[in-house]
Amino acid sequence: MNNMKNTQQSPTVIRHHKPELKRIDLDILERIMTVMYEAGKSNKTAISRKSNMSYDKCVQYLSCLEMLDFVKCQKEKGEDKKNIYMYDLTLQGIRLCQRRLVAKFNSHSVCGIKSSELSKAYV
């Protein structure tokens, strides 16, 4: 004899939770922005491959960059008429990349002479 109660179970609701970044690595942000600066408008897959990151982690960082207004996402029609989401740097993102490149260039030296001194000598 079974003394089990007949209970109705409520249906299980499966929620898809987007994992969020626990902390933001500024080197990764810079790497993604540099890839986008060099490549121009790209989709998420291309950006993740060129920046040598997992797709999921790259998408999280792209969302972060979008919230900071360094990156914009635009929906475009692909060759097969499907929507493709393309990412590109905003004007603010381009300016940041340019400042970082100039700073890196000025911090390097050639034969013991800083590149900023070299550029002054040839102007």
- Taking only the tens place, the pLDDT of each residue in 44-83 is 999 999 999 999 999 999 999 999 999 999 998 877 878 8
Dihedral sign of CA atoms 115, 31, 40, 48 in order: positive
CATH number for the domain whose boundaries are 26-97: 1.10.10.10
This prediction has a pTM of: 0.68
Question: What length does the chain have?
Answer: 123
How far is it, in rounded angstroms, from Cα 63 to Cα 69?
Answer: 10
Residue ranges of the domains in the chain?
26-97
pLDDT, tens digit (0-9, with 9 covering 90-100), for 31-53 = 999 999 999 999 999 999 999 99
Does the pLDDT of residue 123 top 50, yes or no?
no
Neighbouring residues of 82: CB distance < 8 A, sequence distance ≥ 6: none
Token couple for 45: 């897959």
Which is more confident, 96 or 119?
A: 96
